Amino acid sequence: MTTIVVKIDSTALSTPEKIEQIADRLIEQKNAGKKVVAVVPPLDNLEDKLLHYSQILSDNPSNREQHALNVLNIQVASSLLAISLVKKGVQAVSLNGWQAGIEVVETNQNVIINGINPETIIKHLNNDEFVIVAGSQGIDKNHNILLMGEGGPETTAVAIGAAIQAEQVEILTVQDGIYTADPAVVKQARKLNQITYDEMLELANLGSTYIHPRAVELAKIVEIPLVVRSCTENQEGTLIKGEVDMEKNLIVRSVAYEADIIRLTVGYDSYEQSSLADIFTTLAEHNIDVDIIVQAVIDGVKPTVSFSIAKEDFAEAIKVLEKNKAKLMFSFADFEVGLAKVSIVGAGMVSNPGVAARMFDRLRKERILVKMVSTSEIKVSVVVPQDEMVRAANALHDEFNLVEVTA
């Protein structure tokens, strides 16, 4: 009998009726001859209430107690699902992170998994029980319960899958798989049968909400297959693995986009005064993520460096630059808003030169202005005016024949 790990989307746990539907899905897996571990995220409708109580009682609760409070709604979710399963006539047990043997460590203000002792999970599976694990939480060496934060539930599922040598990890979402583009923006987008870890990692870092990058990174390291499937419809999803069977010899596999990009430009009086290391170290120390970077050093022209940041980081970035202007020795800082990033992703780019040129040519024909460019082995990103974002995404989807992909 094979074992699978299923990470459940929070929307599938928002009402008693939806919890029962998910319980039925898990029972279907068991009836198909599989042992099942389910990993649940927080219940969204409890989080605000718990936070409200905390704020009434204290303006500055300790970090330890905030972690302890925030894990409660995940534990409630796991218990409710276990209760629903038992009502349907099967055996089930809910486990908190520490009960499931998840050990975590806090480093650089991030909580990460340090190891898993799967003994308890395996014991319950061998007793023919469903195991429901409260995701995104674990225990540190001082026996404190800590919450992993963003991407924690998916990462928990992958780590458990590796620890118990599961056949695969299923990620149940509101969408039925990974698409060649966002169907809300590109009407002709098609579902992909397969995608590589590297392609999925690029898409996750480009704003895809299917699965968090840290979970994809871990899955790649431990080489466990991931399947993204619908949490409401029982149908085939998209398989994420190391290598894929070429789908109609696609060079580009997906088009992604990200709105609300801001371009910051910093200028210097001379090249000797400019230091990329200094400026980006300073921004990093204030947790400001920088994406596309373009430096201009031309004889007879004052040097500049431009970089893109997310809209939510803009105010803090300006504040940091102004505060450190004397140390960084730049003469001016300028910015441009109303921009977006559009990207093409595909492992086939590695062995097919000219993909970027083809992308730029199509955007030129569409009269869409390209303001910045960033490339990797399997990705090309451009910054364009935001009001051209949707048109650019659709044009590139058409240019690389992604409409021909079939589910």
Mean pLDDT of 155-181: 94
Is pLDDT above 50 for 159? Answer: yes
Structure tokens at 197: 């870890």
Distance (Å, whole) CA 249 – CA 98: 46
DSSP 273: G
What is the predicted pLDDT for the residue at 260? 92
Average pLDDT over all residues of the chain = 89
What is the predicted pLDDT for the residue at 27? 95
Structure tokens at 368: 């869409």
247: number of Cβ within 10 Å: 18
Q: Where would I find the beta strands (DSSP E) of 86-211?
A: 92-95, 102-107, 110-116, 130-134, 137-139, 145-147, 168-173, 194-196
Distance (Å, whole) CA 254 – CA 203: 8
Is pLDDT above 70 for 156? Answer: yes
What is the predicted pLDDT for the residue at 50? 66
Most confident of 37-46, 59-68, 232-241, 357-366: 357-366
Residue 349: pLDDT band (50, 70, 90) is confident
Among 53-67, 138-152, 375-389, whose mean pLDDT is lowest? 53-67
Structure tokens at 286: 């204030």
Contact 167, 3 (CB under 8 A): yes
Place of tokens 């997310």: 310
What is the predicted pLDDT for the residue at 235? 84
Is pLDDT above 90 for 166? Answer: yes
Please, what are the domains in the chain? 2-173 (3.40.1160.10), 255-404 (3.30.2130.10)
Place of tokens 């977006």: 340
Q: In what order do the strands lie in the sheet with 137-139?
A: 110-116, 102-107, 137-139, 145-147
Mean pLDDT of 96-118: 90
Residue 248: pLDDT band (50, 70, 90) is low
Place of tokens 């925030």: 70
Closest CA to 24 of 330, 229, 234: 234
Distance (Å, whole) CA 149 – CA 215: 12
Distance (Å, whole) CA 285 – CA 44: 31
Distance (Å, whole) CA 393 – CA 389: 6
Amino acid at 36: V
DSSP 124: H
Mean pLDDT of 327-339: 91
What number of CA atoms fall less than 13 Å from residue 360's CA on the CB side? 11
Is pLDDT above 50 for 297? Answer: yes
What is the predicted pLDDT for the residue at 407? 41
Instruction: State whether the Cα torsion 13-14-17-21 is positive or negative.
Output: negative
What is the predicted pLDDT for the residue at 307? 93
Is pLDDT above 70 for 163? Answer: yes
Q: 40-96, pLDDT tens digit by residue?
A: 998 876 666 666 667 777 777 777 777 777 778 889 899 999 999 999 999 999 999
Mean pLDDT of 229-253: 82
Contact 255, 342 (CB under 8 A): yes
Determine the distance from the C-alpha atom of residue 122 to the mean position of all C-alpha atoms in its chain, rounded to a whole number: 28
As a 3-state breakdown, the chain gives helix, strand, coil percent values, each rounded to 5, of 40, 30, 30
